[in-house]
Amino acid sequence: MRTLSRRLTVLPGRAMVAAPDILVLAGTRPECIKLAPVIAGLERHRSLRVLTVNSGQHAEAVTRSFAEFSLASDIALPALPPLPHLGASCAHLQRELRAVIASVRPRLVLVQGDTLTTYAGARAAHEEGVCVAHLEAGLRTDSDSDPFPEEWFRRRIAQRADLHFAPTPLAVDHLLAEGVAGACIHHVGNTGIDTLRALMGELVASPREENLVLVTLHRRENCDGNAAVVCRALRSLVRVQPGLRLVFPVHPNPRIGQRIRRELGSDPAFALVLPLGYRDFIGLAARAALIVSDSGGIQEEAPHLGTPLLVPRRNTERPESLATGFTRLVDTEHDALLAAALATLRAPRAAAVPFDDDAPFGDGHAATRVIHVLERQLVQRAYA
């Protein structure tokens, strides 16, 4: 292992690329899933030199997630330490990422989504005078601060990005309405659909399990009292409809994990399991009769899996999923959740959404479009 500075470590077996064209930042599992097809494509690309950084936000999850796609980070930062509040975590991560950017001097920094790593990385690159490309740009809810911090991050990342890779026409419209120049916006589709399409081409189809419900909760707005409400509604669901089996991968954040275990740990209808790998999660979601989740990514995936999804949130930055009929927002309230779950389980099953030009989040070839834009921006500009 070769240490370049107090903060910057090259991982064993990974070769450093001097002055890379592109530095890719990843800090969470969802970022890895959506960055994977882009990184794989870039690593096959002879004209563009790329380095990938594990920011340390969720260090072990990033290592595991990349390994699922036969990828690995080139640079690993220390795990993000426990800090008293979000602002302190952001400031710490921004300093760490700025040190990396200053050390390797990329021509462009690629960030994904709306995480702490994305926001801190965009700020760090902007302060270093490095071009920022934002993957999954332009998602918006009807509130400028809800959900927090994701919506707050998204809008501020847009102010620092130079290239905006928008997944949907609506995302393009949001960016234009905020004053982003049209020449800087590229409608490419969502790279998460690339990952899903590739995996579904490999999975052996399994029959639907009509008694299986898949549940996840992790968002900040559902960490405390709302988590208890969801858990109690699910317990009521089992009492009203006996025989259901609920699989609940528990998020590693102890703030929500402890609450879930306290509410459901003694109920035999619930299998509280460790976070699943992407392949296992999608396989389970494809077999489930119902998904209950506050995740953003599953809103994109559920229509293609043909699995109905209830989202215990006030709003969503992915209204395209609602339009498919597979996804429904539900107030985080006991009776509303119970009624929605019962109605969904008893409703006839609709056909899954195909991967085609009319798919809400793209046809599964977004990464190719992203790489084409990056090549045009970096390679062609170098010889202009």
Q: Can you read off the two tokens belonging to residue 292?
A: 């209950």
Closest-CA residue to 114 (of 256, 367, 295): 295
CB 174 within 8 A of CB 138: yes
102, with CB counted inside 10 A (0-12, 13-18, 19+), is: middle
Q: Round to whole Å and give the CA distance between 307 and 51.
A: 36
Strand partners, 311: 329
DSSP secondary structure string, 2-24? EE-SSS-EEPTT----SS-SEEE
CB 40 within 8 A of CB 71: yes
For residue 116, the surrounding DSSP H or E stretch is helix 116-127
Q: Round to whole Å and give the CA distance between 224 and 63.
A: 28
SS3 state at 360 = coil
Closest-CA residue to 98 (of 5, 1, 14): 5
Number of H helices, E strands in the chain: 15, 15
Q: Is 365 a catalytic residue?
A: no
Closest-CA residue to 28 (of 50, 52, 59, 51): 59
AA letter at 161: A
Q: Round to whole Å and give the CA distance between 121 and 112.
A: 10
Q: Which of 126, 174, 218, 251 is catalytic?
A: 218
Closest-CA residue to 139 (of 108, 161, 109): 161
Q: Round to whole Å and give the CA distance between 91 and 87.
A: 6
Q: Round to whole Å and give the CA distance between 6 and 279.
A: 36
Q: For the chain, what is the radius of gyration of the CA atoms?
A: 21
SS3 state at 64 = helix
For residue 257, the surrounding DSSP H or E stretch is helix 254-264
Cite the active site residues.
Answer: 218
